[in-house]
Structure formats: structure tokens, C-alpha cells
Structure 1
Amino acid sequence: MFLLGESESSREDLSVLIDRYLTVNPMERRDRALLTELVYGIFRQRGYLDWLIDHFSKVNLHPPIRNILRLGLYQLLFLDKIPPSAAVNTSVELAKEADGMAASRLVNGLLRNILRQREILPAPDPKGDPVAFISVSTSHPEWMVRRWLARWGKEKTLQLCRFNNEIPPTTLRTNTLKIKREDLERRLKEEGAAVTLSPLSSAALFVRGVPVSSLPSYREGLFYVQDEGAQLISDLVDPRPGERILDLCAAPGGKTTHLAELAGGGAQITATDLNVDRLDLIRENITRLRTPGVEVSALAEATPADRRYDRILIDAPCSALGILRRIPEGKWRKKSSIIADYA
């Protein structure tokens, strides 16, 4: 419940919030996996969960009680391994602790009512109100649905929204300065991961079944967690040994370290970011990966008038609407004005 509450007010990614929580509250692998599934799953399905809650409850709900209902409903509707009675009883106890007996009775009644109707739950009319239907059934804000319907039509919009709700694999980038991809694949399998090689990026692997940040190979700096698409950007830059390269919006350092690897450690790379507070993230990743040839500096120091670079990478801030599958919290934190803000 703490994570659900904190995620409402924080602008940090869910992955950061979860990692920080687990650092302070260590868990066994199975419990870590369940916690991650619950938090990410609730954000993926939040629109649908909230619509059901508002349909079955006609009272204003305090934020903690709404989160408890989201937690209980997600378990009832999307998790097969948790008995319905356990999901309901846990939610009732949480409500009692948070807001007393009245809240616990409300939670108990609403969850059991929905449980009885689970096979015939209501939904918006797909013909009468297609925006509401797609918005609720795929858990996307109406402004996104309207925008995509106008641009792509119903079928492509449904396809995109459903894709955004899929659970993505964890994608790793091989630190090719330290190990070959095939050797990393073998090492990860020895550490208990299910591994698939990417067909698009020569350094990428997809892994499942393990918390990668706890692996010895992670601590040894043999890989970096990075989307396949992000890896392809550095491939396009095509850095060469001996070149001077500027990574202008570098934090947390994924593309910086990849550029160094692609240049065989022989390029001179300057990494900077508009947010000075995030420069330490770049330094941390350079240290873990033991990446050579990288200087991290403030923006003014990295861009004096008399300095010249052979290549400059500007991964400018954007709406991030293209990666909602990985950051489902983005669906509920972003407003329609974000498109104009980043245009």
C-alpha cells in the first residue's frame, strides 16, 4: 500500500520506487515478483479498476481506500493464484487499519458484489460511446483514445492500447567491452534466467524469471538494462575510435556507455545533462560497467564555444507515449498538453 500511495504523488518511475522500497525492505524472490506484479498490474489496469469502483460505489472514496479497492479488485480479476477469499479478507483488514470499520464494510461489500458478478460485469456501450468503451476496456485515458482514434481509427487504436498493456520482457545490453553476447547468454542461464537473443540488436538479450539487479553478472558490470529501441539509436550514431562525441541529454548513462562500447573504448565521450542532479546516475553506471573514455561534466563545461565534436547525440526529453508498455504509470501522470509541451 505504501508504494501505491507514494506513486500517486511521486514523478519517479515505478521501477525506481520499487527498487528503493526493496532495498529497505528485502524480500524473497517470489514475494518480490508478486509485489512487482501487483504494482505494475494496478497501473496497467487502473482505468478499468476505477471505472468498476465508481460504478459499484456511489460515495466519495478517500485515496487510501481507493487504492485498497484497486489492490483487491486486481487480485480478483487478474490473478489466478490468489484465492478470492484471501484477496477480499486482506483488503478488508487493510481498510479497517486505514479508516475504521465503516471503510472495511464498504470494501467488503463492494468486492463481494463484484465477485458475484465477475462473469457479467458491466462495460460502456462500444457502439454508443466507442471512446469510453476503449478507454475503460483497455485502461487508457480518454484524451489518448480520442487522439489515436482520430489518427488511426478503431482497430489500430485497440491494437495499440492492448499492446501497451502487455508485460514486456526485461531487455539487457551486453557490455561488449567485457563479454560476448553468447557468453553472457550462457552466464545468465547458469544464474537461472530464461534468455532469448534479440533479432534486431546484436548486443540485446531478453530475460525472464530473475530480478536482474540481484545477479552476480549485474554486479560485475556484464550488462546494462536497456530497451532494444534505445540500443538501436547508438548503433545509428556509429561511433568510431578516436572520435570526440557529445551525449547531450545523457542521464542515466545508457546510451553514453553504449557509445563507448561500440567505439571499442577508444572514443572520447563527454556526457552531460540539463539536470545536474542526474549526473551522478551517469557516474554510477560508468563505474559499474567500468566504461573507459567518458568524462561527465555540467552542461556549460561540456559545450564551450571553442570545443568541437565529431558526433553529437541529443536524446531530448519527450512525451514517452511510445513506451507506455514499460511505464504504465505514464498513462495516468500525463495530460493532453504534453504533446504541445514537447513539440
Structure 2
Amino acid sequence: MTIRRDALTILEEIKDGAYSNIVLSRRLPRILDKRDRALLTEIVYGVLRYKNRLDYYIIKLSNRPLKKIDSAVLTALRMGIYQLLFLERIPDRAAVYETVNALKGLTHQGGIRFANALLRGFIRKKKQVLFPDKENDPISYLVHYHSHPRWLVELWLKQYGFTRTLKLCSLNNQPPGLYIRMNTLKIHSREFIQTFVTDQIGLTAEPVNGSYQLKGFNSITELPLFNDGGFIIQGPAATLAGLLLGVRPGMRVLDMAAAPGGKTTHLAELMDNQGSIIALDIYQHKLKLIEENCQRMGVKIVKTVKNDGREYRDNKKFDMILVDAPCSGLGLIRQKPEIKWNKSQQNIKEIIKIQRELLLNAVQLVKKNGLILYTTCTLNSSENQDIINDILSAHQRKLELIDLSKDLAELGLAKTYPVDSNGFLEMFPPESITEGFFMAKLKKVK
């Protein structure tokens, strides 16, 4: 199977609901040539990032509505135009030939001829296609040129204004950095750093303690240190969440939506493997992921429980609770670009209900003077600030909001990650240089 055929098949799977990282992780190990692996990854993620821009060209150069184009043909057209626009190292003729060839057996001859003609026409006419003007029609400009769905552009324009939204949309189309968190249960920092120096792998420390960026290396799971539990793949914002909860050895902690266990294992590390952590998830296969990560990383104080955090009951109250809530994931579009196309406003309404119910149950489960840290990896005030304000209004005498600026100052991060006027922390990727994240801390006073 050729690389273009692989890419086409993978993109069709993602269109049907598969996750890009999971599908690629299954396919890439079977490809021996690292250049082919890189090309496959580039085409898949490139098409997902720039889908609206690619479709704009197709609409302008075709006499057919997108809905009338066979699914495999449409995917191939996106792949071909992406290569012709962005992959200068590939000759135009080769990009067209290989992409059209990948369609054989997947569609009828008419579809193949249509794809071939449109891609060749694109080479001749691409400069004639004019995108909406940034000044006169900023929404359409962001939708089509910067390739984001209209509802999301409108949401962010309302929250952030044009300049910040433009920066965010532009950044979302750039490949993300690769970040890891060191595990001090297994290795000391000096030995950790020396391992990467010895292996000649670029390693840069992030402002968040224990967080590092890897440069020029992607085969994480091939490293012996990974298999030995010396680190886990985790972004700096997610790492910061563990630090901001403020757990200590001996505490009783609840992680209400724990899979795949990145934050759970971090809490155990911060507790020095002393105390207890209950880790909840509704799916057995996700609990298995948590258990595997705990075993690999030497974590001994976590008990996994198959339960919905909204309904979980316990006879004993918890010192601290992490509500790392299911969310729309709009802060992770760089890492998972299909999020742009898989989410909808209706999805988000359903998610908000779950988030609220998780928080309400957390209030019941935490002890007096106990703390709740609410986190999401999204950039949507309805799932973030509004949820917290609603909960505070419903429990005016029972809860108080903790200003995170003090915690950040103690970590030496108050200037790096400033809070808003309410004490909420929203990590906005173009400014924080992290994944998009929101955090709020509540104290139960009665």
C-alpha cells in the first residue's frame, strides 16, 4: 500500500469518528522508512488542519457541491491540494499522480478522472482563487483561510476579539511541540537530563517544574527510560494542574475523571506514594490504561474504580478532589486537529451538563476545608468561567473561590501564567505557549 493510499484510508477513518493519534500510532510502526512515516503524518495532519482552506479551492475550481463529490475523491482532492500548496519538495506531477493513483479501487473511473482534472486545474489556476478579505469579512476570512468552523470562530471572536482569535487560529494550524513530565518516583532530575544528553536528544526545561519539551525526536515509546517509567507524555498545562491542587503525602484524594492517568500518576508522585488516590472512569479499558501507567511509573497508592463521577458515593470524605472534566477539547486543536470538525454546539451543551453534575458531586464528597480543582483543556467560557460562577451561586455559603495567583507565586509562575480578575487561570496558547487550559480552585468552607 502506498503512502497516499495509507493517508486516504486513515483520513476516511477519522472522518468516521476515529482519533488521528490512535489511527496513526497503529499504522506508523509498520512503515520502515522514516521519510515515509514523516510524509504520512504530514499529509494526514495537514489535511485535518487546513480542511476548510482546501475545500475553498475545491469549491471555486469545481462545478460540483462538496456533498455531491464521492467521499474518497473529496479526501484525495484535499490531500492533493495540500501537497501542491505546502510540500514544495514534492514535484507537482508526482503529487498529482500518486494521489490520483491512490483512488484506484476506491471509486469509479469518473471519480478518478474528476480528481485528476481538478488537481491539474489547481496547478494552473490556484493564484486566481481569492479568499475573503480580512478587513471586510473577518469571520469568513478566519473560517476559510485559517480553516476553523464558523460557530467556533464566532465563539472566539466574542470571547477574545479579532486579534487574539487570529493568533489562536493561526497557531492551531502549526504542529505542536512534544512535551513530557519527569517522574521523580523513578529518576532524579540530574540522571534524567543526562540520559537525553547521552542519547543526543534535544531537551528543554519548561517553566513548569518537571515539564520538558523534546526536540527533533518523536519515537517516545522506543526509549528505555519511557518503558522504565522515567517520564510520561504530558503537556506543561496538564502538569501545572497537578501542582496547583497542592496535594501532600498522606492525603485522601479523588480523581473524578482520571483516564488515561497522567494527572493521577502526577498526584501520586507529589504525594511521594503516601496516602490514597481513588481514580474513577466509566470505561474498563480506560481504567486499564490508568493501571498500566501506574505500574510503569511505580505508583502504588492508586485504586481504580469503574464508576461515573457524577454518581460516585463514599462513606469517607476526601481531602482534595481533582475534577479534570470531560470537555470540548478546544485547547488541544494543535494536537488533535480533528476536534475542530468533530465538535458542535449541541455536543457542548451535553458536555456542560456533565461538567456541572461532576462539580456538584465533588462538593458533596470533599470534606470541610477541603479543596476542589476544576480543570478543562478547552477555551470556552460556557465550560469554564460560567460553570464555576454557577456553582458558586448555587453554594454561596458552602464554597469560596481560591485566587490561584498565590499558588502560582509559590511556584514562581505568577508572571508566566497570570490569572484573571476573578483568580481563574486560563492558559491561552499564543500567550502561554502551552496547550489551552482552564483551572479554578474551590474551598468547601461549610
Per the shorter chain, which TM-score range? Answer: over 0.9
Structural mapping, 1:3-152, within 5 Å = 3-10=10-17, 12-23=18-29, 25-59=30-64, 60-152=68-160
Q: State the Cα distance separating 1:247 from its structure 2 match.
A: 0.9
Which amino acid letter does the alignment assign opposite residue 2 of structure 1?
T
Residue identity matched to 1:317: P
Report the AA paired with residue 203 of structure 1: G
Q: Give 1:81 shift.
A: 2.1
**Cα deviation, residue 150, structure 1:** 2.8
1:185-214 CA distances to partner (integer Å, 9 max, x unpaired)? 332243343221102x11011012222122
1:56-113 superposed Cα distances (whole Å, 9 cap, x missing partner): 1122211101111111111111122222221111012123332243222212221122
SS in 2 for 1:172: strand
d(CA) in 1 for partners of 2:47 and 2:221?
23
User: Structure 1 CA distance, aligned partners of 2:62 and 2:201?
Assistant: 43
Counterpart amino acid of 1:307? Answer: K
SS at match of 2:349: helix
Distance 1:135 1:182, change over 3 A: farther
1:288 pairs with 2:293: no
Deviation at 1:128, TM superposition (A): 4.1
The structure that is strand-richer by fraction is: 2
Q: Cα RMSD (Å) of the superposition?
A: 2.0
Looking at secondary structure, tell me which structure has more helix per residue: 1
Q: State the SS of the aligned residue for 1:160.
A: helix
1:249 Cα offset (Å): 0.5
Cα drift, residue 269 of structure 1: 1.4
User: In structure 2, do the counterparts of structure 1 residues 277 and 50 end up closer, same or farther at CA, with 3 Å as the change threshold?
Assistant: same
Contact kept, 8 Å, 2:179 with 2:236, in 1: the verdict is yes
Tell me the number of residue pairs that the alignment of Structure 1 and Structure 2 aligns: 340
Partner Cα distance (1:310, 1:278) in 2: 25
* Alpha-carbon distance, 1:314 to partner: 1.2
Aligned pairs for 1:245-256 (under 5 A) are 245-256=253-264
Corresponding residue number in structure 1 for 2:192? 184
Residue 344 of structure 2 corresponds to residue 335 of structure 1: yes
Q: Deviations over 1:135-166 (max 9, x none)?
A: 11100001111222233322222111112112
Distance 1:76 1:142, change over 3 A: same
Partner of 2:329: 320
- Aligned-partner Cα distance in 2 for 1:331–1:189: 37
The 8 Å contact of residues 176 and 335 in structure 2, kept in 1 or not, is answered as yes
- SS of 2:179's partner is strand
- The correspondence of residues 192-203 of structure 1 with structure 2, limited to 5 A, is 192-199=200-207, 201-203=208-210
Alpha-carbon distance between aligned partners in 1 of 2:197 and 2:121, rounded to the nearest angstrom: 45
- Structure 2 contact 282–308 (Cα < 8 Å) conserved: no
2:231 is matched with 223
- The alignment's TM-score, normalised by the length of structure 2, stands at 0.72
In structure 1, the residue matched to 2:269 is 261
Q: Give the secondary-structure state (helix, strand or coil) at the position aligned to 1:319.
A: coil
The 8 Å contact of residues 242 and 267 in structure 2, kept in 1 or not, is answered as: yes
3-state SS of 1:297 partner: strand
- Offset from partner CA, 1:16-47 (integer Å, 9 cap, x none): 12112235x34333322222222111111111
Structure 2 unmatched ranges of 5 or more: 1-7, 353-446
* 1:163 aligned partner: 171
Q: Once structures 1 and 2 are overlaid, which stretch shifts more, 91-100 or 55-64?
A: 91-100
Question: Cα–Cα, structure 1 residues 254 and 232, in superposed 2: closer, same or farther, change >3 Å?
Answer: same
Residue 139 and residue 256 in structure 1: after superposition, are their counterparts in 2 closer, same or farther (change >3 A)?
same
Match of 2:421 in 1: none
Aligned partners of 2:180 and 2:211 also within 8 Å: yes
Instruction: Provide the C-alpha distance between the structure 1 equivalents of 2:192 and 2:129, rounded to a whole number of angstroms.
Output: 47
Query: Contact between 1:138 and 1:161, CA under 8 Å: does it hold in 2?
Result: yes
C-alpha distance 67-225 of structure 1, shift in aligned 2 (>3 A) = same
1:333: how far off? 0.4
- Amino acid across the alignment from 1:58: N
1:156 aligned counterpart, secondary structure: helix
- Name the SS for the 1:96 alignment partner: coil
Change (3 A) 1:213 1:120: farther
Residue 317 to residue 92, structure 1, CA distance change in 2 (3 Å): same
Deviation for aligned residue 1:120: 4.6
SS in 1 for 2:170: helix
CA offsets 1:253-273 (integer angstroms, 9 cap, x no match): 000000111112223112111
Whether the 8 Å CA contact 1:96–1:103 is kept in 2: the answer is no
1:249-297 alpha-carbon deviations (Å, 9 max, x no partner): 0000000000111112223112111334421111121122222211112
Secondary structure in 2 matching 1:40: helix
Secondary structure in 2 aligned to 1:314?
strand
Give the % identical residues: 36
* 1:317 to 1:113, Cα distance in 2 relative to 1, 3 A: same
Whole-Å Cα distance in 2 between the matches of residues 79 and 168 of structure 1? Answer: 18
**Superposed CA offset, 1:216-268 (max 9, x none):** 22222211001110110100112211111111100000000001111122231
Q: Structure 1 residue 312: deviation in Å?
A: 1.2
Unaligned runs of 5+ in 1: none
Between 225-234 and 332-341, report the one with greater CA deviation. Answer: 332-341
| Code of the aligned partner of 2:142 | I
Moved more, 36-45 or 94-103: 94-103
